[in-house]
Chains A and B, each alone.
Chain A
Amino acid sequence: MIATTMMVAASGIAVSPEIAIATMAALTVYAIGLLPGGRLTALEVLAAQALVVGLAVFLIPQDYLRSLISFSQGGGNLPIGPAIHILFYACILLIVVPRLLAARLFESSAGASYACALGIASLAMVPPALGRCDASHVFLNGLGLFTVAFALFARSGTRRFLTYTVAYLLIVFVYFQVSNARTYGISRSQLESAATLIKADFVRLVARSHFSSSQTANATRPETPASANAIGADPYARFDVYDALGLPYGSYGYEKSLQRYLWGQKRVIPEKYMGALDIYDESQLQERISELARMPRIVVQKNFLKLYEHRDPCKENQQYLAAALLAVRSRPCVHEPLDADIEMAKFIDSHYQVEAEIGDYLVMKRCK
Chain B
Amino acid sequence: MLSSGIAVTRSRVIRQVPPALIYTISGAATYYLLCVLPYAFPAAAYPRILSASYVFGFNNKVAILGLIAVIAVLTFFQVKSRFGFIDDLPEQVAVRRLDGPLVKLFAVASLWYLALTVTIYFVVAKTNGFYRFDWESSHFIWHTRMMYLYGSRPYLDFVTSYGPALAYLPAWSYSALKPFGISIEASYYVLHYVLNLVGLAALTMLVNSFAIAPSYKRIAFSSVALSGFSLPMGLSGLLIRYLLPYVGLLCVHAANAYEVTRKSSGA
Contacts and interface: CB of A to CB of B under 8 A. Distances in A.
B164 interface: yes
Interface in B153-188: 155-166, 178-181, 183-184
Contacts of B244: 11-12, 15, 19, 23
Interface of B: 7, 26-27, 30-31, 34-35, 38-39, 42-43, 45, 47-61, 63-64, 67-68, 70-71, 74-75, 77-78, 80, 82-87, 89-91, 118-119, 122-124, 126-133, 135, 138-139, 141-143, 145-146, 149-150, 152, 155-166, 178-181, 183-184, 203, 206-207, 210-213, 216, 219-220, 223-224, 226-228, 230-232, 236-237, 239-246, 248-253, 255-257, 259-260
A176 B227 CA distance: 8
A92 B91 CA distance: 26
B55 A333 contact: yes
Contacts of B212: 150-151, 154-155
Shortest 5 CB-CB contacts between residues of A and residues of B: A251-B138, A150-B220, A115-B86, A8-B248, A102-B78
A217 B76 CA distance: 69
B49 A338 contact: yes
Interface residues on A, range: 35 or more
B220 A99 contact: no
Given A8-B252, A19-B244, A151-B212, 4 more contacts: A63-B155, A80-B58, A125-B242, A147-B224
Which label, helix, strand, loop or mixed, suits the secondary structure of the A interface? helix
The CB with the most chain A CB atoms within 10 A, among B42, B211, B220, B251, is that of B220
Contacts of B157: 270, 272
A252 B135 contact: yes
Contacts of A101: 71, 75, 78
Main secondary structure of the interface of B (DSSP, over half): helix
A130 B63 CA distance: 8
Interface string A48-88: 00000000000011111011000011111111111000100
Given A75-B49, A121-B246, A335-B42, A130 B60 contact: yes
Contact of A223 (B38, B77, B183): B183
Given A8-B248, A110-B256, A271 B223 contact: no
Nearest to B249: A26
A100 to B, nearest CB: 7
Given A218-B181, A335-B55, A126 B67 contact: yes
A326 to B, nearest CB: 8
Contacts of B38: 79-80
Nearest to B60: A77
B64 A127 contact: yes
